[in-house]
Amino acid sequence: EEELAMIDQLGKGKHPPYLEWKPDFLADYIVNTHHHYVRNRLPELKALSQKVAFKHGEGHPELILIKELVELIDTEMQSHMVKEEKVLFPYVKALVLNKDLDQTQFGCQFGTVQNPINMMEMEHEVVGEHLLKIRNLTKNYSLPESACKSYQLLYAVLEEFEEDLHLHVHLENNILFPKALFLEKNIAQN
pLDDT per residue as tens digits for the range 20-76: 999 999 999 999 999 999 999 999 999 999 999 999 999 999 999 999 999 999 999
Confidence of residue 120 (pLDDT cuts 50, 70, 90): very high
Instruction: Report the pLDDT value the prediction gives residue 185, as an integer from 0 to 100.
Output: 87
Instruction: Report the pLDDT value the prediction gives residue 146, as an integer from 0 to 100.
Output: 87
With DSSP H G I counted as helix, E B as strand and the rest as coil, what are the percentages for the chain, rounded to 5?
80, 0, 20
Please tell me the pTM assigned to this model. Answer: 0.87
Query: Which tens digits make up the pLDDT trace of 74-109?
Result: 999 999 999 999 989 998 998 888 765 554 555 556
Contacts 24+ apart (CB under 8 A), 11-19: 18/171, 18/175, 19/175
* Helices 62-83, 149-170: crossing angle, 10 deg rounding: 40
